[in-house]
Structure 1
Amino acid sequence: MGDHLGQLVELEISNVAHGGVMVARHGGRVVFVADAIPGEVVRAVVTDDSKAKFWRADTVEVLEASPYRQPHVWSAASIDRAPEERAGGAEFGHIAPAHQRELKRRVLADALQRMAGLEPAVIVEALPGPADGTGWRTRVRLHAAEDGTLGPYVARSHRVVEVADLPLATPEVASAALLAGRKDAGRKQPGRAARAHGSRSVDVIGPSTGEPIVLRHGERSGPITERVGDREFRLDAAGFWQVHRYAAEVLTTAVQEAIDPELFDPAAANLDLYGGVGLLAAAVGDRFGRDIRIESVEGDSGATGHARENLADWAGASAVTARVDRYLSTPGTGAGGLAGATVVLDPPRSGAGKDVVAALGALTPAQLVYVACDPVALARDLALFAGHGYRLSGIRAFDLFPNTHHVEAVASLVRT
């Protein structure tokens, strides 16, 4: 291996793959190609030939362009730059927004069919905001180079590249981040400060209330307030919150609509797993009233503390700090039996996994609403749930991350 590294190859792009790359073949070998679009013919440089079955390559020239190709929304990530200078984090920015959503739909549909034998009709729905998919990120992480320069990583690397703009960020976050990254000799440089304190990154957070906050990675500040409709949520500035400025509102409505009211029992042991600061538990409460019973389960104690405060409007709401798998397998936690219950789960990118699925299957809730940010993990878990007697009753997908390959889905499951 290594004989082909740096080689230029001409490739016909046939499809999209999970992970933001496209698929081509060269000499019988699969090549995963960045910065291309299905239907194009491109010239690409081989960047990884370490695997026997496939290579990776970066597009350097488009020989036959797709009608869906557009000037990249972020010049720092354009193929006009050498691959080693392209900023990461906007890998679909060269594709017309509607076609981005179509490619995400294909990835989701392929995963569901291939891994779970499911073929639901699904589209990827756009969120409010600019039609070009910019101006949505309320949280940005910049990395600190040895000289204190702050910037994003080059795609698929840990090399920092300096940039002049951050078009995916909200204007307020972009301004704060670019100001933090300046090299003015007359003022303190957050990048150098981060390196001096052993941190290699800086987070810029733009809450829906108040001014943007700049934090070294791992640094804590006072709580912030995020507003979703008429409701406010308190959380740590560095804590988890949906990144798209409209995502929390969209997911609140989607989860509310995904629950079958005929199966919902307000007195059952309803659960919000991986509950964070209580966003989705509150969504359930706001739909079904102040007398419902629901418990939020979250592994981060700081988030749990905020969840207790955020869910104070419901006398039957509670929040516990626990790993979800351990919580579901421990008697006396309130999850000893879930007959009649509704369970909302929003696991990390890796999904719930077989142990959590098996535990939920054994506890027999009436319905589940699964919020997923990875199509492959979702499809795997839906197949596992089918083995425990649950079928997919509905699914929606949302473009919570425009100009990237990521897509969010909300799936409803009921017992067969």
Structure 2
Amino acid sequence: MAQERRRRPARGHRRAAAPRPPEPGPVLELEVERIAHGGVAVARHEGRVVFVADAIPGERVAAQVVDAGRERFWRAETVSVLRASPDRREHAWPEASVDRAPEQRAGGAEFGHIAMTRQRELKAEVLRDALHRMGGVETGAAVEPVDPSLAPGVDPEAGTGWRTRVRLHVAPDGTVGPYAARSHTVVPVASLPLAVAGIQAVAPLTRKLEGAAAVDLVAPAEGAAQLIVRSAGDRRSSRGEPPTIIERVGVRRFTVDRDGFWQVHVGAAATLTSAVQDLVDPDRFDPAADNQDLYGGVGLLAAAVGDRFGANVRITTVEADARATEHAGANLADWVGARAVTARVDRYLDELVAAPDAATRGLTGATVVLDPPRSGAGRAVVDRIAALRPAQVVYVACDPVALARDVGLFRAHGYELEALRAFDLFPDTHHVEAVARLAAIV
């Protein structure tokens, strides 16, 4: 995913007021049917849909209703497992286990109680269902684990040791920890098992940080892990030049702001580089065409294209964040035909569509790579890309529903889904990353 809205750090860190919890509802015995988008399971009670956390399809659980204020569905939290799935395991993060009261379960590892193979199967089911319902396509897509050679230190069976960025919060009394799942309550924890070893070593889990609002932990590819304490209203890197770090894919080095965006999984950048290189159809690729890398961040995927097709590739990377674009220009210096543009993607495409020769030239023969924020590209951007008639579109997505919606929009313009790969870049969570190729059907 790209540098834009969901990825970019917030400008300030004022502590949000914790939402007032609803009054507890009844405890229900539920038969769990399936997993929904968002990582919660689906059950039914007297005909009403109940979204229940910390359950697995096929289980029977006792669940406390925590939100009965909607006519169409309720929300509930598992409080005990009456008939366990064979895929249930000891939680990868003890502080998030169903053994704890729901309000004291650490958030951010909602699939940690599920065996890794089953986690990936459930994510694939959600992806396939979304593409069927919203994209109008059938696919047998599976979710692939990250190649262990790209992720040193990651336990592939536990799904731990992969996070290179962690945000912790600080309670009014100075207690440091993650938020409880689906709340703004800070939960004290003794461990951060999803994090890489460097972050685990510097995390201030036993310290009191009164007056602070949050703690950011960053483990770059080069150098030691860093701990950054944020105060309420703090503007990140507001004085002087923002600090930078070096990240790496193979032997290639990328400069990025320490507070800027880089892929969270230690092996994600290399995985997506390889996937984009694989999914760009070489028979459709023209190195001299007006190739585009939209929502390009610091140039990761533009570099992937350049490394795949050679130093003479012509490619423009477009990103709204000026600092990221500045770094992209330097990171792409190996390619004489590369340039970095600071612009909102929709406005940049407006200019291309409005160009005098757009109707005849557009992006004829070009490849468009796009890595939009979690909300996806959306109708306006898809319409503009399709109007420019590129030869192929390679779409990197971190939200299956947003991807499916946009696949449907592209199909309405004559672009069909030709290839799809999905990767488990967020083990022990419900999130999944997918890379798709769409091409115009002549």
What's the TM-score, normalizing by structure 2? 0.89
2:349 matched residue in structure 1: 328
2:30 is the alignment partner of 1:11: yes
2:221 matched residue in structure 1: 208
1:382 matched residue in structure 2: 407
1:248 matched residue in structure 2: 269
CA distance in 1, matches of 2:271, 2:423: 9
1:197 matched residue in structure 2: none
- Could you tell me which of 191, 210, 223 is aligned with 1:192? 210
Unaligned runs of 5+ in 2: 1-20, 149-153
| TM alignment of 1:142-221, pairs within 5 A | 142-177=168-203, 180-183=204-207, 191-194=209-212, 200-217=213-230, 218-220=235-237, 221=242
* Letter paired with 2:220: P
- Could you tell me which of 88, 104, 110 is aligned with 1:85? 104
Note if contact 1:226-1:232 (Cα within 8 Å) is conserved in structure 2. yes
Deviations 1:93-113 (A, max 9, x none): 000000000000000010001
Task: Tell me by how many angstroms 1:333 deviates.
Answer: 9.7
Which secondary structure does the structure 1 equivalent of 2:25 belong to? coil
2:4 matched residue in structure 1: none
Note if contact 1:299-1:324 (Cα within 8 Å) is conserved in structure 2. yes
2:296 matched residue in structure 1: 275
CA distance in 2, matches of 1:139, 1:386: 36
| TM alignment of 1:39-54, pairs within 5 A | 39-54=58-73
2:326 is the alignment partner of 1:305: yes
Deviations 1:269-290 (A, max 9, x none): 1000000000000000000000
- Could you tell me which of 354, 368, 373 is aligned with 1:343? 368
Task: Tell me by how many angstroms 1:50 deviates.
Answer: 1.3
1:25 matched residue in structure 2: 44
CA distance in 1, matches of 2:250, 2:322: 26
Note if contact 1:247-1:400 (Cα within 8 Å) is conserved in structure 2. yes
Note if contact 2:25-2:68 (Cα within 8 Å) is conserved in structure 1. no
CA distance in 2, matches of 1:120, 1:308: 37
**RMSD of aligned alpha carbons:** 1.6
CA distance in 2, matches of 1:181, 1:322: 40
- Could you tell me which of 289, 294, 307 is aligned with 2:310? 289
2:15 matched residue in structure 1: none
* Letter paired with 2:45: H
Which secondary structure does the structure 1 equivalent of 2:439 belong to? strand
CA distance in 1, matches of 2:264, 2:135: 29
Task: Tell me by how many angstroms 1:4 deviates.
Answer: 7.8
- Could you tell me which of 283, 289, 309 is aligned with 1:262? 283
2:386 matched residue in structure 1: 361
Note if contact 1:346-1:372 (Cα within 8 Å) is conserved in structure 2. yes
* Deviating 4+ runs (over 4 angstroms): 331-336
CA distance in 2, matches of 1:228, 1:333: 37
CA distance in 1, matches of 2:407, 2:236: 37
Unaligned runs of 5+ in 1: 184-188, 195-199
Note if contact 2:353-2:384 (Cα within 8 Å) is conserved in structure 1. no
Deviations 1:251-304 (A, max 9, x none): 000000000001001111100000000000000000000001001000110100
Which secondary structure does the structure 2 equivalent of 1:412 belong to? strand
Deviations 1:176-223 (A, max 9, x none): 12xx2332xxxxx5x3352xxxxx222100001101112245423411
| Change in CA separation of 1:13 and 1:374 when aligned onto 2, cut-off 3 Å | same
Deviations 1:329-380 (A, max 9, x none): 0149999521110000000000000000000010000000000000000000
| Change in CA separation of 1:352 and 1:213 when aligned onto 2, cut-off 3 Å | same
CA distance in 2, matches of 1:307, 1:58: 44
| Change in CA separation of 1:297 and 1:3 when aligned onto 2, cut-off 3 Å | closer
1:225 matched residue in structure 2: 246
CA distance in 1, matches of 2:193, 2:367: 39
CA distance in 1, matches of 2:142, 2:267: 18
2:139 is the alignment partner of 1:120: yes
1:414 matched residue in structure 2: 439
How many pairs does the alignment contain?
402
Task: Tell me by how many angstroms 1:6 deviates.
Answer: 2.8
Note if contact 1:79-1:86 (Cα within 8 Å) is conserved in structure 2. yes
* Letter paired with 1:300: D
Note if contact 2:325-2:342 (Cα within 8 Å) is conserved in structure 1. yes
Task: Tell me by how many angstroms 1:318 deviates.
Answer: 0.5
| Change in CA separation of 1:359 and 1:163 when aligned onto 2, cut-off 3 Å | same
Note if contact 1:4-1:46 (Cα within 8 Å) is conserved in structure 2. no
- Could you tell me which of 109, 120, 130 is aligned with 2:128? 109
Q: Percent identity?
A: 61
Task: Tell me by how many angstroms 1:5 deviates.
Answer: 3.2
| Change in CA separation of 1:367 and 1:63 when aligned onto 2, cut-off 3 Å | same
Note if contact 2:22-2:66 (Cα within 8 Å) is conserved in structure 1. no
Note if contact 1:4-1:49 (Cα within 8 Å) is conserved in structure 2. no
Task: Tell me by how many angstroms 1:117 deviates.
Answer: 1.5
